[in-house]
Copies of this chain bind each other. A is one copy, B any other.
Amino acid sequence: MTTDISADTKIFERRESQVRSYCRAFDAVFTRATGSTLYDTDGHAYTDFLSGCSSLNYGHNDPDMKAALIDHITEDGIAHALDMYTSPKAAFLETFERLILAPRGMDHKVMMTGPTGANAVESAIKLARKVTGRTNVISFTNGFHGMTLGALSLTGNSGKRGGAGVTLGDVTHLPFEGSLGDGVDTLAMIETMLGNDSSGIDAPAAIILELVQGEGGLNAASRTWVEGIARLAKQHGAMLIVDDIQAGIGRTGDFFSFDDMDIQPDMITLAKSLSGFGLPFALTLIRPELDIWKPAEHNGTFRGNTHAFVTAKTALEKFWADDAFKTQVAEKAKVLTQRLTRIADLIPGARLKGRGMMQGVDVGNGDLAAAICAEAFTRGLIIETSGAEDEVVKVLAPLTTPMDQFSEGLDTLEASARACLNAHVKIAAE
C-alpha cells in the first residue's frame, strides 16, 4: 500500500485547506482498519467510537463486504455508469425491497441521488416543493442536514450557516422537542403557530426532522412528539421528511429510526452507513404517488455508486435478513445506557442523551467534553463531541463492536472522564 509515506503530517499542513477538522483532534496518520479498530502509521491501534459519524455502523472492512467488493472489481464489474441499468443496482434494489421495504409494508420508490446525504436532502426538499407548489420548509432547532445551500438552509448551527455568505431563505426553524426547556410543550406551540393564519409562517411544503439529532446534541424526540409532528404535517398538507442519515440503518436499534413509531414518512433520506463499507452512497425514499419527477430533473454524475451497491447488498443480507443483529444492538444499547449513566453520575448536572447505540453524556460545557475526548484519544479511543456548544460526549461505536472491546472502550471513556474531573477539581482547588 503506502509504505513509502512517512507518518508525518507536513504534506497536510502544506497542501490541505484549513477547513480540515477531525484531523485536528486526532493527531495521527491512519493507514489500516478492521472491525472497530483503526491503526496509524506507527502501528498504534485505536478503538473507534466515532464510526465516521455513523458511516461505519458495521465497522471497518467487514470481511463479507470486502470479499464481495474485491470479487466485483476483480471481475471488472461496473464502477461507474451514471444512472444506467446495471446488475449490481438491480441486485441492490431487489434486496432492499425484499429485506427492508416489504417487511414494513412500505411501497416507497428509491431515488438514487448524488452520493452525499446533503444531496439526498436537497432532492427531498426539491420534490416536496414541486409536489405542493409551496416554498417554505419547516426544520428544527439544533437540526443538521448538510452543507450545500439548500441543505444548509435547514441546518440550525449558526457557524455552519454563516459560511453560506448569502441569506438562507424559504425555511422556518421551529423548536425541537425539549429545546425550550423541559416544561415547555413545543408540539402544542407548533400546532398553534401552524393553525394561525397570521403567524407569518407560510404554509409548509415539508417538515423535515431527525428523530435523534446527531450533530445537535443527541436530542431524541419522543414517540408522542414525532407522531404529533407527523399528524400536523398531514393536516397542513406538508410532506413529512425523515432525515435518517445519521440515526438510520441500525443506529437507534432498527433499520429506520422510526420503526417503532406509528408514522409513515412521505420521504426518507439515507446515506452514511447505507453502503455498509463507508463508501459514498445516498438515496431518498419517496412514496410512489409523489414520484412526479421528470427524467433527470434532479441528477448528478455519481448518483448510485456501483461499488456501494455491491457492499450495501451484502450488508443488507448479512445484517437485516432476520432479527439477530437487531437483538444484539439492543443488548449493546442497554450496556451503553448503564455505562453512560455511571459516567453522567460522576459529573454534577450531567445527563444522558440519545437513544439506542446513539447515546452520549451532556457534561454541561464544551470545554469539559473536549477535554474528555482529548484524554480518551491519548488512551487510544477515538470519540467526539456533539451539540450546539459541543457539550455532549457522543458514543457512535460500530454496532458490530465485540462486547469486550465495547466494554474496554467504555472503561477508557470513564477513566478519561475521571481524569479530567480530577484535573478540574485540582485547578479549582488551587
Closest CB of chain B to A159's CB: distance in Å? Answer: 7
- Given that A60-B78, A159-B294, A166-B167 are contacting pairs, would A118 and B114 also be in contact in the complex, using a CB cutoff of 8 Å? yes
Contact between chains at B4 and A84 (CB < 8 Å):
no
Q: Which residue of B lies closest to A27 (CB)?
A: B85
Contact B158 A197 (CB under 8 A): yes
| 24 pairs from A and B in contact (CB 8 Å cutoff) | A2-B88, A17-B284, A19-B298, A20-B112, A20-B295, A21-B83, A22-B81, A27-B85, A31-B78, A31-B86, A52-B80, A53-B301, A55-B80, A114-B148, A116-B302, A118-B119, A118-B148, A139-B200, A163-B298, A167-B167, A175-B193, A181-B188, A245-B301, A279-B305
* Contact residues of A between 33 and 65, Cβ < 8 Å to B: 33-34, 38, 41, 50, 52-53, 55-56, 60-61
**252-289 of chain A: CB within 8 A of chain B:** 271-272, 277-280, 284, 286
Q: Are A203 and B158 in contact, with the CB atoms below 8 A?
A: yes
Cβ–Cβ contact B173 & A184, under 8 A: no
Partner of A272, one of B38, B216, B245, B301: B301
The 7 closest A-B pairs by CB, nearest first: A80-B278, A129-B165, A173-B200, A149-B150, A19-B293, A169-B169, A148-B148
Select A11's contact among B4, B94, B272, beta carbons within 8 Å: B94
A330 touches B (CB below 8 Å): no
Q: Does A235 contact B (CB under 8 A)?
A: no
A277 CB contact (under 8 Å) in B31, B70, B79, B147: B79
Taking CB atoms, residues of chain B closer than 8 Å to A91 are: 2, 4-5
Could you list 13 further interchain pairs (A-B, Cβ under 8 angstroms) beyond the known A1-B87, A33-B77, A159-B297? Answer: A1-B72, A7-B87, A17-B110, A17-B291, A19-B293, A19-B297, A30-B84, A158-B197, A173-B200, A179-B196, A180-B188, A180-B193, A189-B189
- Complex Cα distance A161/B295, Å? 14
Which residues of B lie under 8 Å from residue A122 when comparing CB positions? 147-149
* A75 in contact with B1 given A80-B52, A84-B26, A86-B31 (CB within 8 Å): yes
A144-158 CB contact bits vs B (8 Å, 1 = yes)?
001111110111111
Is B196 a contact partner of A142 (Cβ separation < 8 A)? Answer: yes
- Our pick among B34, B82, B163, B272 for the contact of A130 (Cβ within 8 Å) is B163
Q: Which residues of the partner chain B approach A142 to less than 8 Å between Cβ atoms?
A: 196, 198-199
